[in-house]
Chains A and B, each alone.
Chain A
Amino acid sequence: MSRLFALAWLAVVLLAGAHLVWRAAEGLHFQTDLTALLPREERDPALQRANDVVTNGLAKHVVLLFGADDREKARAAAADIAGRLAAEGLVSVATGGLDKNRLQSLGRLYFPYRRGLLSEDDRRRLLDGRAGDIANRALSQIYGFVGMADARLLRQDPFLLMPAFFSSLPIPMSRLAVDDGMMSLQQDGMTWVMVAGQLNGGPYALDVQRRLAALLDEGSLRAARPGVELLRLGAVFYARAGAEQAMSETSEIGLLSTLGTILLVLLVFRALSALWLSLLVIGTGVMTALSASLWLFGELHVGALLFGVSLIGVAVDYSLQYCTEIFGAPASPALRLRRVRAGVTLGAATTVIGYLTLFFAPFPGLHQIAIFSAVGLVAAWATVILWLPLLDRSAVPRHGRRLLAFGAGLASLWEDRRYRRPRRAAAILLGVAALAGVPRFHVDDDVRHMQALSPDLRVQQEHILRLIGDTAGSRFFVIEAADEEGALEREEALADALRPLVADGALRNFQALARYVPSAARQRDNRRLLRRLLEEPLLEGHLRQLQLELPPMPTADQDEAGPALTPSQVLSGDGPLASLAMLDMGRVNGVVTHVVTLEGVADVERVARAAGGLEDVRFVDPTESFTLLLGKYRYRALLLTGLSAVLMVPLVMGRHGVGGLRLLVPPLLAVILTPALRALGGAAFTFFDAMALVLVLSVGVDYAVFCAESRGERRQVTLLAVALAACTALMSFGMLALSGVAAVHAFGSTMSLGILLAFILAPMAWADEPGGPADGHWARLAERGTWLGMRLILLLYRIAGRRGCVFLLWLIVPYFYLTDGRRRRHSLDFLGRVRAFRGEKPPGWRDGLIHFMSFAEKALDTVIAWSAPQRTGAIRMVGAEAIRQVAAEGRGGLLIVSHLGNADMCRAHQAKLFGRPLNVLLHTRHAVHYNRILRAIHPDVEARTIQVTEIGPETAIDLKERVERGEWIAIAGDRIPVLSRTRISRVSFLGHPAAFSQGPFILGALMDCPVHLMFCLREGAGFSMYFETFAERRLEIQRKSREQILGDMCQSYAHILERYCLKAPSQWYNFFDFWA
């Protein structure tokens, strides 16, 4: 059977391999856009699209400046490169400025509409009543040293408004001028010639990057054209630098972490078999993961690859778990596998859950990481389970004993009493360091800090911006309107708000379509202004001065109805201003959407406020929103950590019961301590740290699972394997911490620290003693309220108070109610019997939930009672006189308590009641847990809890002595002994025969003392303790009818218990089949 599965798995692996080979032959596609790892904008589509268009436009923009002290040299270099870029089809080189042809076609296009086109300044002059200034400007241009005047132009446009309009256009990069066909500028004796254009292809396509880099290679350029300096600006260059870094890091990290792992395995196992088995596991894991990712996504993100490579460190864990077993008791490979199979499977399941939660994050890159890792881990797991035992030919190593001794030494660090003080010191140190880190904890979501931008390119970029002036920044406005005209009108309103900001330097410039093509309304208004304020008062005199005839003028009506220039005329594919097409995004969801880009924003706040009050105009700051978004996802990543912890709960509980929750303690502690310790070192907490915590949890739970699965002797072997696993993980994630990319560095650092902590803390998950899976006996049921649970409740109570705790319990208990079918059935069974006994209808699911809640509250009350007895609320005593009487006489007695209500209350308040110690007999190993929690609260109570499984003569004598000293003995009357099923009587309880222990009554008879019953029920905000006298002096059992008498005693106890049960059925805490 297992061979069949192994063969099937072989088929899958071969298929994956074939797929990979086929894809590799086609050429693998790698995506290098680091932002693809980041979340998508989470807003409406218009904004999203605007962001995409602007960002893509900016991303594809390439600016090259060739500088030399000799004009011809710079021009020749620029012409050469521009020609080669065009020839290779890499970049569509744009002339940028207005050359002769573009100026002429612009003139031809605009000229018919000239009456509606006024420069912003001329419009202001007319509105301010300074029409004379316009006339004077025309005259000074005509008569002055600079002759703008062209006869044809003058006759049509005697005020030279058209040239004024053109020179007012905010054409980008206006610091440059066309010098003999090339955009150039002179500064400090250098001539700079620009080659600019749009990249043909994505800036993140590796192929494009490679070809561009080859063409612009600095070395060859310097050799070919000495004295020519090249400055570059464009996302593609940054992407290239990032990709180069990521690629070299990927191969370096992959290589180093593989080499380290190999070395470690060789060192530990001193055999090639363990190495090749481990390599087989890693190999199938990585190959299958690669194949699956390529199949699902078509391409692979370099970042995903980078994170995915660190998978090697996790995948090898499973093979190490298996291989280390060779040092344990000698066994066949199949048997060795069986010893680790449960642990490896549970570990893989929890880790895969951790990785798969990454899938909930809406980042394409992280999806790839999630799939890559999950598939890789499952494949590694399958290889370990299905193949390793079949392939394993390992001989028992000779150095096994020494290695085991090492493992034992390692284990003793956690176990041995000798190391208690260092352990405690280390724990305190860790706690203090973490606490010290807390005030230094700070978050940083600024996306600019996450990407490592090449410093050299940044210097070049700044130099370029100093030379050519600002190019469009990443911030912009989005304008929405029902139609094109509406959008233009809104832009004009926005432009009016922005112009004062430009005047006082808060903003250098802005690009808006309406500045090139005013709205139809504005054009009509301009024609009116022109006619009324300029032509009517001044035209005649102006023409006379120029000795010109009055040209044919349109009538006022013609002006009113005159045609308007529209954006589509200007922006059309071969239009003179086609480069502005980015400003008009057309219709998005039926709404006309325009973009206004900003250059040189000095005062972000004021610019952002400019849109305030303008309808359908929104300021967009992608960096800022990216930062906000990263913050949001940092928070969500933490929720994700919580979610994956919750998802792990059913897995660990399914195997270990409630006690399985302790498996989550080490990883959760690691998750909490890591950020605090990182903060101590001054590191900020980022989204990538939060993401790493998800994985710390899942890897950490692996270690805890491996530890929990091992008992006794095997602990040494397991600890050895876990130590090996931690070492390999540290090797791979530690490498990531060395990355120059801030995001990867943060991820790697948090991972390595988290894994180190998870490893150190993992032995906390060691089970206390052997015990198989729970069976029907109550003593073996891991009682709700084990040590861990109690500790947690105590902690919560101190933080949140009772009310807060009850609230939290309402969040937690329904989960247990839903998942723990067995106890739910017992609860409903019990409640059903109570209802039937009373003649009521059967209970619903709500009653069961209330029953569960009541139990949780009981645990809470117990903790409160012990830690703060004064806070338990009022305690009412009913029938306590008899007890007080006995106590006053200095005598002791037997107190039969039950799991109905909270018997612990009487322990907590024993001093008030008895004035003498109360000894509690517990049947079970739970005494150990119980003592631990009590010791934590009351260090002096240890001796008072006596664990008995069977009451023998010595116990009886000891107890008798205690009673004679005036002490009290408490024993539960509603539980039967662990080992014996003989001393029981079947008596009627709630109408059905149930087994009751004769033990308490035999004990009472043996000790020759008064026997009382006690039930402590929660009533309202307080408690009532009900006492019943069972035997005032002593219990007498005649030898002859002993069985009969004990049966009668059991029956009368059962009746009393029944009475109180009916009083408070939801306080019945025997969650097992009582009538079994």
Chain B
Amino acid sequence: MRRLLVLLLIVLAPLSPAWSAGPSQTMEPGQVLRGRFVQERHLSGFGAPLRTEGRFVLVPGRGLIWQAETPFAVTTVITAAGLVQTAGGTETMRLPSARLPFLSRLYDMLGGVLGGDWRAMESDFATTRSGDDGNWRMELVPRRAPDQVSMPFRSIVAKGGRFLDEVVLAKADSEDFDRLSFLDQSLSRDSLTGAEASLLDSSR
């Protein structure tokens, strides 16, 4: 859960106009970011990484739709109300944000970052930025010792140019890591499709 939220932060944070060495493309209200993703989950002892491909839709102020398509179709919708996961038409998980104080803290951080205020973020992570607008790299290291419950990462590394292109999340306590690659990203002012809108609504 924490991982997901940090990820959310990473995905959204670079869109902030105040992001000096980050994605050069910023989002404006009413814009929708669509794209494809490849998630490689490197687990020690597994012959090959578990690879998931799918599409995502990011709507500022409303939430994120994360649809894995292969090898297994599962849809995750994250909004301010929490997280809902469905697979094969049945709900497999529902986590209301009220149960996770960390979630609202992350929203706070996010709000800060989007507003150009880094203090909330910096209180939890040490950030190192390098490169330029066209090709940047950022490393986040938790200030507190990582643990399974509240901060399950050793480090987070994000790379990109106009958009965020790749995130590597190194897990605490093991050699496992997740690599997320983002492809075919496009900003549009299109309204949401009916299906997308109902997904975002259903998670409330």
Contact = CB atoms under 8 A, between A and B. Distances in A.
Contacts of A150: 43, 171, 174, 176
Contacts of A155: 45
Interface string B75-116: 010100001011110101100001111101100000000000
A589 interface: no
A547 B74 CA distance: 18
Interface string A431-447: 00000000000000000
A392 to B, nearest CB: 78
A147 interface: yes
B197 interface: no
A224 interface: no
Given A103-B149, A152-B174, A71 B105 contact: yes
A187 to B, nearest CB: 7
B101 A143 contact: no
Given A136-B87, A139-B74, A151-B174, A180 B150 contact: yes
Contact of A140 (B74, B98, B99): B74
Contacts of A143: 39, 50, 52, 68, 71-72, 74
A99 B149 CA distance: 8
A186 B72 contact: no
A143 B46 CA distance: 14
A137 B102 contact: no
A931 interface: no
B178 interface: yes
Contacts of B7: 145
Interface string A530-557: 0000000000000001111000000000
Contacts of A152: 45, 174
Interface residues of A, number: 39
B192 interface: no
Contacts of A142: 41, 50, 72
A464 to B, nearest CB: 16
Interface string B128-154: 000000000000000010011110000
A985 interface: no
Nearest to A97: B149
Interface in B160-199: 171, 174, 176, 178
Contacts of B78: 145
Interface stretch (A170-178, A300-308, A1040-1048): A170-178
Contacts of A951: none
B50 A145 contact: no
A177 B100 contact: yes
Contacts of A187: 98
A179 B105 contact: yes
B93 A140 contact: yes
Contacts of A548: 46
Contacts of A178: 149-150
Given A100-B147, A547-B46, A177 B99 contact: yes
Report the contact-size class of chain B (Cβ under 8 Å from the partner): 35 or more
Given A103-B149, A146-B85, A545-B72, A136 B45 contact: no
Interface string A111-152: 000000000000000000000010011011111111101111
Contacts of B88: 136
Contact of B104 (A139, A140, A145, A186): A186
Contact of B99 (A99, A151, A175): A175
Nearest to B104: A186
Given A144-B76, A145-B78, A186 B101 contact: yes
A147 B177 CA distance: 11
B47 interface: yes
Interface string B49-85: 0101000000000000010100110101010000101
A177 B101 contact: yes
A187 B98 CA distance: 7
A185 interface: yes
Contact of A177 (B92, B93, B102, B174): B102
A191 interface: yes
Contacts of A547: 46-48, 50
A411 interface: no
A472 B64 CA distance: 38
Given A141-B93, A184-B101, A146 B83 contact: yes
B72 A149 contact: no
Contacts of B100: 177
Interface string B16-41: 00000000000000000000000101
A896 B142 CA distance: 122
A216 interface: no
A109 interface: no
A90 B86 CA distance: 48
A482 to B, nearest CB: 41
Contacts of A99: 149
Given A146-B76, A545-B72, A139 B87 contact: yes
Contact of B176 (A100, A139, A151): A151
A545 B72 CA distance: 9
Nearest to B149: A100
Contacts of B204: none
11 contacts: A136-B88, A143-B71, A144-B66, A145-B4, A146-B85, A149-B41, A177-B101, A178-B150, A185-B99, A185-B101, A186-B104
Interface of B: 1, 3-4, 7, 39, 41, 43-48, 50, 52, 66, 68, 71-72, 74, 76, 78, 83, 85-88, 90, 92-93, 98-102, 104-105, 144, 147-150, 171, 174, 176, 178
Given A142-B50, A151-B45, A180-B144, 19 more contacts: A136-B72, A136-B88, A136-B92, A139-B87, A143-B68, A144-B85, A144-B92, A145-B7, A145-B78, A146-B83, A146-B93, A149-B41, A152-B45, A175-B98, A175-B99, A179-B105, A185-B98, A546-B50, A547-B46
Interface of A: 71, 99-100, 103-104, 133, 136-137, 139-147, 149-152, 154-155, 174-175, 177-181, 184-187, 191, 545-548
Q: What 8 A-B pairs are tightest by C-beta distance, nearest first?
A: A151-B43, A140-B74, A145-B76, A140-B87, A179-B101, A145-B66, A144-B74, A143-B52
